[in-house]
Structure formats: C-alpha cells, structure tokens
Amino acid sequence: MPDVEMKPTDPKATDAKPAEDTKAEPLSPLAEIKNNAALIDRAVSTLEPRFTHRVLRTLTSLRKRIDDSILRNAIDEIYAKDDSVHKTLIKWLPGTSSTSTEAQEMDVDSLSKPPQASLAPEAEMYLRLLILQHLLASEETHERALELANETAEKMQTLNRRSMDAIAAKIWLAVDRAYDLAGELSDARPIFLAAQRTASLRHDDEAQAALINCLLRSYINYNLYDQADKLISKTTFPSSASNAQFARYHYYLGRIRAVQLNYTEAHTNLQQAIRRAPPAKTAPGFYQAVHKYFVVVELLMGDIPDRSLFRHVVLEKALNAYFEIVKAVRTGSLAQFQATLSKHAAQFEEDNTYTLIIRLRQNVIKTGIRRLSLSYSRISLRDICVKLHLDSEEDAEYIVGKAIRDGVIEGRIVHDKGWMESGVQKNGYGPEVSEVFGRRIAFCLDLHNQSVKAMRYPLNAHRKELAAAEGAREREKELAKEIQDGDLDDDDLGGDF
C-alpha cells in the first residue's frame, strides 16, 4: 500500500514551503494558533464556514512548526486554568511535569491578558486536532494518539454540531492515521461505518467524504475489493467534497475498477485523481502512486503512455520500473517482458500492481502480432510462433484467431497453407473523430458552467446598494415634493441668476 497521505515526502519541498509561509505570514506558531481559535469562534458565531476553512488551510504548514511547549502555551492562553477543557487538553501533552507548567503558568499569567470567557467547542476540537497530529508525528506517542483519537471521535459525535463538520472531517482523517500507525486499521472499520451512517443522515458532506475515503482505504489495504465495490455502490460521494477528497476517492475507485478489468472507467477515474490532486511538488507521494496505476491501466487498455511522463522530475525515479515494462510492451517482446517482470517483481508487489502487470502478458502478445501484421502482408504461423516465442504452432493459430476476432488486427488465416494474411488497415478518419471532438467540447462547456455556478458572492452585499438606492429615491421624492410645494420660488431662482 503506497502512502497516499497527501503530505510531502520530498524533503526539499517540505523545507521550501514553510519558509515561504513564514515570509508571507510572519506570525509565530503560538500567535497563529490563538488567531485561528478566534477565527473559528467567529465562524461559529457568524455562521460563516469560510473562516473555518481558512484556518484548516494553514493546518499543514502549522503542523510542522508546533511542539509541546507551543501547544501548552496556546492552551494556557486560550483557556482559563481552572477551565475543565484546559485540564483535559493539557493532560494529553507529553512530559507535563509540575514544575515546568508552574513556571510557564507564571509566565503566561504575567504576560497575557485574561483568557476569553468561553470559546465554542469547535475551538477545543481544533486544538485536539493539533495535539493529535503532533502526537502522530513522533513514534513513541502513537499509542497515546490512538487513545486521544478514540476519545475525540466519541466526544465529537455526542456534540453533534453542524458548524463542526469541517474540523470533524480532518479529525476523522487523523483517527484513520492513528489506527493505521497502530497497525489496527481493520479494527477502525466498525467505528467508521457507524460514523459514515450518521454523517450521511445529518447531511454532513465533509465528514462523509472523509469517512468514505477512510473506509475505502481500509478495504483496499486488506485487498477486500469486493467489499469496497459494494460500499461504493451503496453510497454516493458528496459532490461538495473538497478536491483533495475527490482525488483520493477517484484514486481508490480507479484501483477497484482496474482490478475488475473495467479499464476504461479505471482510466477516467485515475485521470480525474491526477487532475484534482495537489501539485506534484506539494504531494509527490500521491502523485507517484496514482501515476503508477495510471501507466499500468493505460498499458492494459492497449495504449502506450506518453514518453514525457517518465521525464517528469517527481516521477522519473519512482516510475523507472514501469518505464521498462512499457518498453517491453511496446516492442512486443515476451522475453524482455518476462525479464523485466522478474527483475522488478519486489517493487511491483510493494506497489500492489503485480497482479495487474501479469495481466499485461496478453497485451505483449497482441502488440507483437499487431507489429507483425503491419510489417508482413503474409506470414506463416510457424514464423509467428518463432518470433513471439510461443510454445506451439497450434497455439499461434488460436492466438491469431483471437486477435482477429478482438479486432486487434485485420486479416485472416488460411488454414491449409498455414499462414496469416493481413488485411487493409482502417484509416483513422471516421465518425469517431467527431465523437471524440464532441466529448472534449462537452467537457469544456461543462467546466465553464461549473465554474460559473461555483462563483461566490458576499452575503448581504446587495443590501448596501439597496440602501443607497433607497436613499437616492428618498431624496428625489423630497426634491419633487419641494418643487410641487413651490418652495423653490422665483426669488431663489432669481438669486441664482
């Protein structure tokens, strides 16, 4: 199972990103957390989920900069010391020895203004999420992370607040990760299934999307494609889910369809996953994982992937083995294919693509036959057998027959003479061209319409204009009234002249 967490695995990218962020936003992590908590509170009180989303966007960069003391200080500053939330949160932080807290509390007391009265529970959940992610980051605290994950999930469900949905989705992902690191991914399934049902009943789209993906990941991790397929057929993926969730969903769907031999659908889904995924440099792990499947599925469909794909900076190294397979398929040489397969078997097994690549064998043969039929107008079955390293002439006859039936080549077999005659090749211009063209136009138009629909307008912004218009009308009325009343008498006019 390749790591499909959308986090950078490339150290260079990791280093570069926070640096940029700090330049743009010179806030210290502590100040940022405080700021975020206030923003979340505002989001809840103004019913404007936009603020919460803004907070969550900074999560990735913030995650890398926090440590125990920052978190502790943040909790101290946000919650009063005798607050029950304060106690529950602080106890999750490792190494809370009494002296150090004492000292810090002194510090904090003298420095900060008295904490705000009471924050929305969403802010607490946000802090829990930060602690959880922090615990997950280091190996020794995984067990505590799992405990916290369970407690948080429970608490989240009893609270049942719609304004918490966005944070809840992130927490579910962290819970999934906690179980994954503890190696108990299958144990989390009942929890997720129950939560998914609740989320779908409450129309909690964000959590639902996250949970469906967690479940799919868990099923696919244990190779339970059947169950995963059933889950997909029984649920509808919320259309308002974020791009990252959509990318994951399409990736899993693509994998399931590829196993089921539905390559066309697998191809569309993987392509969607690539398009929706974050830029290659930000999330190289995901980008590579999707491309591995994408290349294999494209080969299985009988296409050869673009050469430029294998020159991509992020992909070049990761896809090396796949590039060799592509070369073998392209030349239609079974021997080369077998050699490459055994050479890279370990990697393919690790990527879970081994069974798919074995299926390529028939494609190699088909490509071989196609090449032969292009270069020879007539070739004996015996020669085909030798050139493609087939076991017997009898086999060659059946294989060529099947290729003709499947439309791989045009031609026929003359049995009594023991050869194959190639027919005329179809030319590439026909109604299919207009069909493909039409499909592309439809895609562009759909994209345009979707983006028009997705435009946001600030709430109540038209009120101001309305008020202004109202005022203007009012003035006009007054003016008209004054004229009617004859207030504007000749004297005034005369004065003007």
Residues lying near another protein in the complex (CB under 8 A) are found at 223-226, 229, 259-262, 349, 354-355, 358-359, 361-362, 365, 390-392, 394-395, 397-405, 411-413, 415-416, 430-431, 434, 438, 441, 445, 448-449
Nearer to another protein, 260 or 377 (CB): 260
CA angle 190/196/197 to nearest 5° reads 95
Tokens 């004054």 sit on residue: 482
Nearer to another protein, 108 or 345 (CB): 345
Nearer to another protein, 30 or 193 (CB): 193
Partnered with residue 380 across adjacent β-strands are: 419
Nearer to another protein, 201 or 424 (CB): 424
Minimum separation from the CB atom of position 445 to another protein (A): 5
Tokens 């009180």 sit on residue: 45
Minimum separation from the CB atom of position 396 to another protein (A): 9
Q: How far apart, in Å, are the Cα atoms of 104 and each of 27, 108, 346?
A: 21, 6, 52
Minimum separation from the CB atom of position 319 to another protein (A): 21
Rg (CA), the chain: 32
Q: How far apart are CA 392 and CA 384, in angstroms?
A: 10
Minimum separation from the CB atom of position 333 to another protein (A): 16
Q: Return the biggest CA–CA distance within the chain.
A: 121
Minimum separation from the CB atom of position 321 to another protein (A): 16
Q: How far apart are CA 169 and CA 190, in angstroms?
A: 17
Minimum separation from the CB atom of position 399 to another protein (A): 4
Nearer to another protein, 161 or 402 (CB): 402
Among candidates 402, 394, 399, which has minimal Cα distance to 418? Answer: 394
Nearer to another protein, 30 or 413 (CB): 413
Residue 295 CB contacts under 8 Å (≥ 6 apart), including other chains:
305, 309, 319, 322, 326
Nearer to another protein, 138 or 355 (CB): 355
Among candidates 397, 277, 300, 419, which has minimal Cα distance to 358? Answer: 300
Minimum separation from the CB atom of position 413 to another protein (A): 5
Nearer to another protein, 391 or 489 (CB): 391
**Residue 134 CB neighbour total at 10 angstroms:** 20
Minimum separation from the CB atom of position 297 to another protein (A): 13
Per-residue DSSP letter, 161:
-
Minimum separation from the CB atom of position 411 to another protein (A): 8
Nearer to another protein, 279 or 418 (CB): 418
Q: Which two tokens stand for residue 131?
A: 């602690």
Q: How far apart are CA 47 and CA 40, in angstroms?
A: 10
Quote the crossing angle between the two packed helices 165-181 and 142-159, to the nearest 10°: 150
Nearer to another protein, 91 or 405 (CB): 405
Nearer to another protein, 173 or 404 (CB): 404
Pairing of β 419-422 and β 378-380? antiparallel
Minimum separation from the CB atom of position 367 to another protein (A): 13
Minimum separation from the CB atom of position 442 to another protein (A): 8
Percent of the chain that is helix, strand, coil (3-state, to 5):
75, 0, 25
Q: How far apart, in Å, are the Cα atoms of 406 and each of 397, 411, 418?
A: 14, 12, 21
CB 388 within 8 A of CB 332: yes
Q: How far apart are CA 133 and CA 66, in angstroms?
A: 10
Q: How far apart are CA 272 and CA 291, in angstroms?
A: 12
Q: How far apart are CA 352 and CA 188, in angstroms?
A: 22
Q: Which two tokens stand for residue 409?
A: 């080549």
